Chains A and B, each alone.
Chain A
Amino acid sequence: MMENLGSHLPALTVGIPMLFAFALPLIMRIHAKAGPIVGFIGMALTSICGLSLAYQVFSAGPQAYVFGAESSGLTLPPDSGGVPVRIIFSVDAFSAFMILSISIVALMSMLYSLSREKESEGQSTFFALFLLLVAGVLGMVSTCDLFNLFVFLEISSLAGATLVAFRIHKGIAVEAGLKYAVLSTAGGMLFLIGVGILYGQYGSLNIAYIAQNLKMTRIDLIALILIFMPMAMKCGAVPMHFWTPDTYSRAPAAVTAFLVVTSQASMYVLFRVLFSLSGLQLNPYTFGWIIIVLGVLSMFIGVTMAIPQKDVKRLMAYHAVSQSGYMLLGVGVGLATLNDPVLLETFGKQAMTGGIFHIINHALYKGLLFLTAGAVIYATGKRNLNELGGLGHKMKYTMIFFIIGALAIAGIPPFNGFASKFILYESVFRFNPFLAIIAIVVSILTLASFVKVFHSMFMGPRLPQYAKSTEVPKPMLYAMGGMSLLVVLGGIFPNIVVDSIIEPAVSALIERSEYIHIIMGG
């Protein structure tokens, strides 16, 4: 029985949050107080499934799940003529890595919002939408079917936009939600046109099948660019970053922490399309440089825009843009060296390791920072840095968690940001020293910016208007504490994380034939 359960984990990971999302409003109607607890149980079950799926994939190899087949591993039915016809989930090490990071951040955000939203109205809808967002994102990273990917993308966009606009806040939040919804939908349509073109060419929606048969004609290139652009927009790369600060700064803190991961799921799709779908046929050097330029622009423009901000969450949102530049830079260097095995071995793989490692690190410390900003806003009701001050006297724990997050984002040892950034500097320097220098400068500017935030939020004398502000409730502290613990552990034992999780993810991304093999066999 347990063995059987293990093979169904990919479906359960997406199915459980979706089931709970639709059951929650019903449960709330029967028993009004039970909603948040049931939502949390649903999230905990999802995380358990996600973590055990990740463990299973890292220990036993990639796993395919076919919906509606006689057995869950039967990707090519005997009468199908070698074409995968059903919707297939395929979880390899890179997907498992994303599922791991999503499970952790989603659980912590849920724990945080459990007490953050305690007094608010519409809790059942809030938690239902949150679970739906989690389901959409988990689906995006585990599916192997392009149209299915589009559906999950739209689920996560719609749930995300609604959550951003959830606390109307005199209409400002709705404005941010509108922006997110319009851009996601327009991007989703471009994506769908690309998928349609690929289906017209190859008669299948399965990524592995298309990858195996890809001829890379001019029309395929158009389709891939149509898929590439909306994903680059949704992961917040400059010059398509303009929605990020608005959306991140207006969403409830827990939602923002998870929206970071949502953007990273789009980045996952970007990398999956570049590496697994097209691979060497796409002229990796050119596209690698496109990714590198996007990354460098994001790093630099993100951090320079962050420095003059006064709204604490808006400032952090610009830093999120800047940090995603590091991931693009690392993976871009890997892509640019993909057709040269020697360079790939000497530093390309290492750069990708740094970039991919930065994904989980960023999810953890940026989530932590958004949660601490949310805690400060919760305690004081203010978000303008010029009005805040002296909170260190009252909110000791929040201050400590903030320091951990801020040092991690600035790349100071012994926190996890240092580990991934150091790997990146080292390898990118050998590719092109100039890029590494930009990365280091951006890191220094990040530190400067966070010193300012720290000083204006926590330092200084006690202010009379915050005399009544106290430390935030315990569940919020536990959530922040859990994230901080992982940030510190990732910084102290980076070699364990890299060896057991990151290296398999990187080689799963590079080895295109492995991904095709999961579905197509042979």
Chain B
Amino acid sequence: MLLNAAFIVVALVAIIGMATMLFDKNLIKLTMGLVLMEGAVNLFLVMVGYRQDGIAPIFTSAPDGQMVLPTVQAMTLTSIVIGFATMALLLTFAVVLYRKYGTLNCDFINKLRG
């Protein structure tokens, strides 16, 4: 039951992120929405791999019990790093665009047409 609650949190965070991306015109907020969605995905990954009372298979200190391969945890760490790189890149773009256009509003950043 408690596990399902976590999936509801995932859905909530993802919806907030997606709504921010779709309805907010500010580039910084767009990045924030994207990062929120990344957070939701990371939480989802950790939830998928969670086993109650599972133990990470470390050779030197392996007590008896159910061992769980920590693949998702490794995946989540990698995904957090990738998310960080993406966020840095998007914010850099926002800075450059602000310098060139004097605005962060998507409505005025529209020189690409046709």
Among A147, A186, A205, A311, point to the contact of B21 (Cβ < 8 A).
A186
In the assembled complex, the CB of B11 is this many whole angstroms from the nearest CB of chain A, namely 11
B52 at the interface (CB under 8 A from A): no
Interface size, chain B (Cβ < 8 Å): 34
A147 and B75 within 8 A (CB): yes
CA distance A362 to B65 in the complex (A): 56
A178 and B97 within 8 A (CB): yes
CA distance A85 to B38 in the complex (A): 26
A174 at the interface (CB under 8 A from B): yes
A189 and B37 within 8 A (CB): yes
A205 and B38 within 8 A (CB): no
B48 and A197 within 8 A (CB): yes
In the assembled complex, the CB of A350 is this many whole angstroms from the nearest CB of chain B, namely 38
Q: Mark A202-223, 1 if CB is under 8 A from B, else 0.
A: 0101000000000000000000
In the complex with contacts A147-B78, A174-B97, A176-B112, A186-B71 CB distance below 8 A: no
Chain B binding site: helix, strand, loop or mixed by DSSP?
Answer: helix
Q: Mark A187-207, 1 if CB is under 8 A from B, else 0.
A: 011001100110110010100
Of the candidates A154, A175, A203, the one having the most CB atoms from chain B within 10 angstroms of its own CB is: A175
A165 at the interface (CB under 8 A from B): yes
B55 at the interface (CB under 8 A from A): no
A503 at the interface (CB under 8 A from B): no
B15 at the interface (CB under 8 A from A): no
B112 and A199 within 8 A (CB): no
In the complex with contacts A196-B44, A196-B45, A181-B100 CB distance below 8 A: no
In the complex with contacts A175-B97, A175-B109, A189-B37, A154-B86 CB distance below 8 A: yes
B93 contact set on A, CB distance < 8 A: 165, 174, 177-178, 181
The residue on B at minimum CB distance from A155 is: B82
Of the candidates B78, B96, B100, B114, the one having the most CB atoms from chain A within 10 angstroms of its own CB is: B114
CA distance A349 to B61 in the complex (A): 55
A171 and B101 within 8 A (CB): yes
A192 contact set on B, CB distance < 8 A: 41, 45, 79
A residues in contact (CB < 8 Å) with B: 85, 147, 150-151, 154, 158, 161-162, 165, 168, 170-172, 174-179, 181-182, 185-186, 188-189, 192-193, 196-197, 199-200, 203, 205, 245-246, 250, 309-311, 314
Closest 8 CB pairs of A and B: A171-B100, A200-B48, A178-B93, A246-B112, A154-B82, A196-B45, A174-B96, A185-B86
A151-B78, A177-B93, A188-B82 given; name 9 further pairs at CB < 8 Å: A161-B89, A174-B93, A176-B112, A181-B90, A189-B41, A192-B41, A196-B72, A196-B75, A199-B49
B residues in contact (CB < 8 Å) with A: 21, 27, 30, 34, 37-38, 41, 44-45, 48-49, 69, 71-72, 75, 78-79, 82, 85-86, 89-90, 93-94, 96-97, 99-101, 109-112, 114
